[in-house]
Amino acid sequence: MIKSTIKGIGHYVPENVVTNDDLSKLMTTNDEWITERTGIKERHHRKNRNDSEETTAFLAFKASEKALKMANLTAKDIDYIIFATLSPDYYFPGSGVLLQEMLGCDTIGALDVRNQCSGFVYAMSVANAFIKSKMYKNILVVGAEVHSFGLDFSDAGRGVSVIFGDGAGAVILSASDKEEDGDILSVNMHSEGKYADELCTKFPGSKFGWSDRMRLEPESVTDAEIYPVMNGNFVFKHAVTRFPETMNEALESAGKTIDDLDMFIPHQANLRIAQFVQKKFNLPDEKVFNNIQKFGNTTAASIPIALSEAIEQGRIKKNDLVLLSAFGSGFTWGSVLFQY
Ligand code: COA
C-alpha cells in the first residue's frame, strides 16, 4: 500500500508587519474592535501594494525552497505542482506555472486550485489521490496569497480589509511504502454554490461585464465589484456548522474519534470560529493550533503556514494524528486527516 507522507514543509511571509494600530491610521477602526471580533493583532503585507516582485508565486517560491530543503529534495525531484490561491499573479495563467519556472522544475504539470479558504485542503486531497494512484511520487502542494494589493482600506471596506494578510505555505507530499512514514488517512471536500455571493470578489468575472464594454474599463467598474465583499455574520454561522460536520466525517471515515486526535489545525479564518469549534469538541488548548493573531487570515496559505509553525515549534511530532479543516468562500469546506 502506497502512503502519502509529508516529507517537507515551509512557510514564508513578507517582512512588513501591519498592526491593528497601523490600520487605524488608514480607516476608522481600532485594536480593540479587531482583537475582540477576530483575535488578530497583526498581519504581514508586502511593503508596496503595487510591488511586481513580491508576488503570490514569489511567496510560494520562498516557502517551497524551505519545504524542499526539509525533504532533502531538489526542484528536479518534483513531479507535479498544485497551487492554491485566490490572488494569482495574473488573471491567467495561474501561478502554478510561474512557480514551476521560478524553481527550475522540469516541464511538469502545474495545476491551480481556486477554492479560496478551502484551497489547501482541496489541493492536498488531489495530491493524495495522485500519489495513491501511483501517478506521481513527489508533489509540491502550496497555498499562497497576496491580499494586500486588492483590499479596500477605506471605511467602506473595513469589515473585510482588517482580516486578511499575505503569506505562503508549501508541503512536499511524497509516496512511501516505509512502515515508519506517515500517511493521509481520509479526506473530504464539499461545496454549496448558492452562497457564492456571500463572500466573493466579482471583478474581473464574466458575469460582471456589459456587452458594450471591454473587461477593463476602469470608469465603469464599481468598488463593490473590484473589492472582496463578505456577509460576515452569515459566513460565521455557516462556518460553525460546517466545521464540525467535515471534522466528524474525516474522523469517522478513518475509524478514529476526536480523542485519538493529537492536533487540530483549523483554517485561520477568525479566532472566534476556531474557539467555538474547540469548545464544541471539548478539545484542550494543547490539541489546537492557532496563529491568526500574527498573520491574519491568509486564505489558502493559512493551514500550511500554521502546520509549518506547529511542526517547527515541536507541537506536532512524528506519528501524531493531525486534522486540517477549512471553510470559506464558495461556500466550500473540507478536511484532511493524516498521521505525521
Ligand atoms: N472596525 C471598527 N468597526 C467595524 C469594523 C472595523 N474594522 N468593521 C465593521 N465595523 C462596524 C460595522 O460597521 C458595524 O457598525 P454598525 O453597527 O454601526 O453598523 C459594527 O462594526 C458591527 O459589524 P458586524 O459586521 O455586524 O460585526 P461582526 O460582529 O459580525 O464582526 C466579522 C464582523 C467579519 C469579524 C464577523 O462577522 C466574522 O468574523 N465573520 C466570519 C468571517 C470570516 O471568518 N471570514 C473568512 C472567510 S472563511
* Domain boundary assignment for the chain: 3-176, 183-196+228-339
Across 31-64, b (16+ Cβ under 10 Å) vs e yields: eeebeebbbbbbbbbbeeeeeeebbbbbbbbbbb
Q: Which amino acid is at 115?
A: N
Q: Is the pLDDT of residue 213 over 60?
A: no
Q: How far apart are CA 64 and CA 12, in angstroms?
A: 9
Atom 45 in ligand 1: residue holding the nearest Cα: 269
Known catalytic residues? 117, 267, 297
- At the second CATH level, the architecture of 3-176 is 3-Layer(aba) Sandwich (3.40)
pLDDT band at 224 (very low <50, low <70, confident <90, very high): confident
Amino acid at 2: I
Residue nearest to atom 3 of ligand 1 (CA): 29
Residue of 270, 275, 297 to test ligand 1 pocket, by largest number of atoms within 8 Å of CB: 270
- Tell me the pLDDT band of 215, cut-offs 50, 70 and 90: low
Summarised one tens digit per residue, pLDDT across range 19-35 is 999 999 999 999 999 99
Tell me the pLDDT band of 129, cut-offs 50, 70 and 90.
very high
Which residues touch 193 (CB under 8 Å, ≥6 apart)?
A: 330, 331
Residue 217: pLDDT band by 50, 70, 90 thresholds? low
Grid coordinates given for 121: 485542503
Q: Is pTM, for the whole model, over 0.75?
A: yes
pLDDT at position 51 is 75
Instruction: Decide whether 3-176 matches 183-196+228-339 in CATH topology.
Output: yes
In angstroms, rounded to a whole number, what is the distance separating the alpha carbons of residues 237 and 220?
Answer: 34
Mean pLDDT over residues 186-203, rounded? 96
- Give pLDDT, residue 77: 98
For the CA of 158, the closest atom of ligand 1 is 7
Confidence band for 52, pLDDT divided at 50, 70 and 90: confident
Indicate the CATH number for domain 183-196+228-339: 3.40.47.10
- C-alpha distances in Å from residue 224, one per residue of 165, 236, 328: 20, 21, 19
For 243-258, how does the pLDDT look when each residue is reduced to its tens digit (9 = 90+)?
Answer: 999 999 999 999 999 9
Average pLDDT for the chain: 95
Question: What mean pLDDT do residues 198-223 have?
Answer: 74
Label residue 214 by pLDDT band (50, 70, 90). low
Mean pLDDT along residues 130-152: 97
Report residue 169's pLDDT band, with 50, 70 and 90 as the boundaries: very high
Ligand 1 surroundings by CB, under 6 angstroms: 29, 33-34, 37-38, 117, 158-159, 162, 199, 230, 232-233, 235-236, 269-270, 273, 297, 327-328
